[in-house]
Structures are given as C-alpha cells and as structure tokens.
Structure 1
Amino acid sequence: MVPARSGPAAPSAAVLVLPGGGYERHADHEAEPVAEWLASLGIHAFVLRYRVAPHRHPAPLWDAKAALAWIRSGRHGLTVDGSRVGVLGFSAGGHLAATLAAGVPTGDDALDVNGSRPDLSILCYPVVSFESAVHQGSINNLLGATQSPELLAGLSAERTVTGQTPPAFIWHTSDDSAVDAGHSLRYALALRAARIPAELHVFPHGRHGLGLAAGVAGVERWTELCATWLAGHGWTSG
C-alpha cells in the first residue's frame, strides 16, 4: 500500500480509505477520488485494496490493521500525527471500518493491540449487521460456508461497540435497496448507548454506492457535512 495523496508537510491527520464492493471487488470510485477529496482538506489519505473473496475473514481485517499500524509508524515518509489516524469505509468497506474501530480480534497478537484502532471513523452506507436486514453477498464472500450464529454475531458491528470505540460520522440513504438504512441506524444507536459521539445523516433518496455523490441533489452535501465534523474534531483547519 502506498499513499494515494498527501496533505501538508507539517504533522497532520491521516485517513485510511476502504472502498466497498461486497468483499468481492473494490469500487474504484470509492477509492482514489475519495483520497483526493481528503487531501483537499489537508489530510493525508491512504487507499487500501484489502483482500477479498476467495480470501475469508480475518484476512481483510488483518490487512486493515496492518495498514493502520503502518500509517502510524511513519515508515511511508509522510508527516502523520499518530494520534489522528482515522478510517473511512463504503458499504462492505464500511463494515471493515466498523470492525476495525471495534477492535475485533484477528488472532494475531502483534496486531490486536489498542494502537490498531482508528481515532475516528467515517461510515458511508455501511454494512453493519450480519444478523438483521443482512447483505448476504458480503457475508458469503467474507465467511464462505462457515456462518455460525456466534461468528455472525461477532462480526455484527452494532454488537461490538464498547467505550473504546471511536467517534463516528455515518450517512445513508433511506431508499437504499442494497444495504438497508437500518444498518446505520443500529450502529448509531449502539454508539449512543455506549456514550460515544456520533453524527448520523439519512438522506431521503439515493441509490446504493454513490461514493462522493457529486451532482446528486441532497446527498452531495455529505462531504461538506463531514468536513465540518472533521474540523470540529480538530482534524482540518475548518
């Protein structure tokens, strides 16, 4: 993995971008274009094309944790503030981002440490639950035929929120026919129950997979809203 785009020379925030694609592929419009937008805010941006099917869990999560550790390490040569490293994920990439934020273990002790959690997360029409209104394609691609109730519960991000889960910005569209908006609602409610700050936007209309949503009435405002939220956390100059 290499930096997609970088921000200023002074130490700044960084965000790991996880494109969607149902754990089957990677949606290009949710990758480098998103990194370009983050760079325009003065944030270092890294795109990760994590392993997808036929690879199974925990391979994608291992990739994401390793990438987060690498970003914090500074070995890429950029001036990253290690206390401000976040994650942004779309759809199945949103699921990966949420499990990363929850500290779901991979079984690798070197990676499963507190430093492998992001400091905040941005979830865009995320797959969250593997138990309610499920996106079966993501489950099948990530788990294959091994879908025990315990594993499905353990990978349902709304169940894994704790007091250590970082703040989140979440958005969805109400009439998303691929991933039900209830996924975002469940995650936001779980964060609220754990007293974790969260901002949730559910736009009335818009298909699944909009990415930056340029030119899509109403939904295109998500980047502006998110930039304001990031500024409020001290991640941009406002």
Structure 2
Amino acid sequence: MRLIGVLFGFLFMISSVFSQDQVVQLWDDIPNSQETDEKEDVKQGDILKIYTVKTPTLEIYVPAKRHATDKAVVICPGGGYHFLSYDWEGTDVAKWFNSKGITAFVLKYRLPTSKSLKTAHEAPLQDAQRAMRWVRAHAEDYDINPNKIGVIGFSAGGHLASTLGTRFDAPNTFKEQPLDTISARPDFMALIYPVITMKQGFVHMGSRDRLLGKSPNQALITKYSNELQVSKKTPPTFLVHSSDDHAVPVENSIKFYSALKSEGVDAELHIYPYGKHGYSLAINKGRLQTWTDRMDDWLRSF
C-alpha cells in the first residue's frame, strides 16, 4: 500500500509539472461580447481548425531551461478570419521557436464572423493587445525580458499581427483593468505571407469581407489597410512571401515593406519564386523551407 501511495504521489507531481499554466484565459470578463447560443467548433483533419472562438486563450510553450533565451513570441495563426489553423500555423510553429530557445504563446483569438461580438472588427485586435500585455506582465514568471517580446502572424493572422504592430496603442473601448494599461507594442514582428491591405487591387476579399463586412466604408478600409498605418513606432519587421501566391498577392508584403522603409523602420523582406499560400514551416518544400533559417538569423539581433 505504501508503494502504491508513493507511486500515485509521483504521478501527481509529474502531472502537475506538465499541466500547470499551459493554457490561460485572456479575460475574466470578455469585452465586446454578448450571450448567444454559439459554441466553439473544433475540427480535426489534416489541419486542426477552430471556428467560432468563444474564449480567447494563450497556449504556452516553454523551451528546455538549459537552452532557453530571454525572448518570447505571440503566435497568430491564419485562416482568413474564418477559422484558426491552430496546429499548422500555431502549435507546430511554437515548437520550432522552442527549438531556438524562445518561449512561445499561441493566441486563440476571436473571429469576426461570430454572432457573439458586438463590434466584430474590434475583437481580434482587442485579444492581440491583451495577449501582448499578459505576456509582458508575466515575463518574470517565464524568465522573459519584457523588452524582447515579439509577434508572428500567418496570412490573416499576419494581418492581425501587423494591426497590432501599427495600432498597438489603439484605445480600449471597455472598462480597463490594470493589465490593460501595459504597453501592447511588440518589440519585433514577423509576417508570413500576410494579408496587409484592405484596398481593392491586392486585397484578400475573404479576409476583408469577414473582418469589415461586405460593404465597409472608406474610413474602415483605410483603418485596416496596415500599409497606411505604419509609423516610426512600428517595430522592426521580418516578412516572407511567395511570388506565385494567388490567394494573398505578394504586393501585400511589398507595400508593407515600402511603408516601413519610408518611415525608417528596420525591415527585412524575403520573396521566394514558389510556394503559393499557406505553407507554414514549408517542410519538404526545397529552399522555401529555409525561410525559418533566415528568421532565426534575423532574431539574433534582438
């Protein structure tokens, strides 16, 4: 009996080590929301997709202590503002960052198609701002330098990341808690085949329709065309895109890079001749797979 008791105690201890704080809720009282009969929908196929996010969270991935750096990153998966490619552009990417000693936080953010939102286009940025503030507030808990916290986004997640990078100081429209007064500015930003513009010509219409509605006014289009929102305060940015991307044209990244350059913001742009759209880590895709090596090189400057 004594042996069984010791064994159960050991198993409980191991369980506690591996389960504590792995997923945290971002809000006690979720702003800009209302009660509906919607339920969060998770579909597992080749990619784990999450629809109709009800409870925004951060899933935390911590590297082995012996090779941990003091850097961290918030990851915004893509999915056209319709769903989140949660493993493909989220948790798999978090594990890559861990392999480089970087603590990673996968953001499960609210999607603007939800009936549970009062002002749909505001919700993703609210969650991204809160995520950055939460990580900065808890930096000491994870041995993170609060001045070395970045954001990375893929596709529509790249639009959210670049919205955070250009409008991190957007005022809160809800009753603030002390956490909401912390800076939400990322210290660096990586945008991978990102949606950037909401203007006709190079816009990804699916993302625009879901974020802004079918007939947005010009002020809203301008507000969320992030190439128009770049300032000298926008963080240093790393961009990757492919010339044959017919879903989100490469001009999205080119326009953002040009805006960064005009404002004197440190920027690095890699354009590959192939890859199309949505390749995540690009494993087994020839030299396209080396985009993460280029980002690793770039991250050494922070």
Which residue of structure 2 aligns with residue 83 of structure 1? Answer: 147
Of 51, 56, 61, which residue of structure 1 is paired with 2:125? 61
1:186 & 1:96 partners in 2: Cα distance? Answer: 16
Inter-partner Cα distance in structure 1 for 2:108 and 2:182: 23
- Deviation of residue 207 (structure 1)? 1.9
Match of 2:196, SS state, is coil
What is aligned with 1:182?
A: 251
Q: 1:102 and 2:166 equivalent?
A: yes
SS of match in other structure, 2:164: helix
TM-score w.r.t. the length of structure 1 is: 0.92
| One-letter code aligned to 1:84 | K
Contact 1:85–1:118 (Cα < 8 Å) also in 2: yes
Q: Cα deviation per residue 1:13-62 (whole Å; 9 max; x = unaligned)?
A: 11000000000101130010000000111110000010012242110000
Residue equivalent to 1:38: 97
Q: Which moved more, 1:49-58 or 1:63-72?
A: 49-58
Picking from 226, 229, 238, the partner of 1:160 is 229
What corresponds to 2:185 in structure 1? 117
Say how many residue pairs are matched: 233
Aligned 8 A contact 1:95 1:127 in 2? yes
Consecutive unaligned residues of structure 1, counting only runs of 5 or more, are none
Give the 3 Å change call, closer, same or farther, for CA 166–113 of structure 1 in structure 2: farther
Q: Greater CA radius of gyration, 1 or 2?
A: 2
Tell me the distance in 2 between the aligned counterparts of 1:18 and 1:99: 11
Q: CA deviation at 1:107?
A: 3.7
The range that moved more, 62-71 or 10-19, is 10-19
What's the % identity of the aligned pairs?
39
Deviations 1:163-192 (CA, angstroms, capped at 9, x unpaired): 100000000000001000000000000000
Q: Secondary structure at the match of 1:45?
A: strand
* Runs of at least 5 residues in structure 2 that lack an aligned partner in the other structure: 1-56
Give the secondary structure class of the aligned counterpart of 1:227: helix
Whole-angstrom distance in 2 between the partners of 1:112 and 1:77? 19
- Secondary structure class of the residue paired with 2:146: strand
Distance 1:50 1:106, change over 3 A: farther
Change (3 A) 1:176 1:30: same
1:77 Cα deviation after fit = 3.2
After TM superposition, what 4+ stretches of structure 1 lie above 3 angstroms from structure 2? 8-11, 106-114
CA contact (8 A) 1:17 1:87 kept: yes
Q: CA deviation at 1:2?
A: 3.8
Determine the C-alpha separation between the residues in 2 that align with 1:112 and 1:130.
28
Q: Which moved more, 1:158-167 or 1:132-141?
A: 132-141
Relative CO higher for 1 or 2, CA cutoff 8 Å, sep ≥ 6? 1
* Contact map agreement 1:103 1:112 (CA 8 A) in 2: no
Cα contact 1:168–1:199 (8 A) shared by 2: yes
Give how far 1:114 is off: 7.4
Query: Does 1:213 find its partner at 2:277?
Result: no
CA distance in 1, matches of 2:251, 2:180: 29
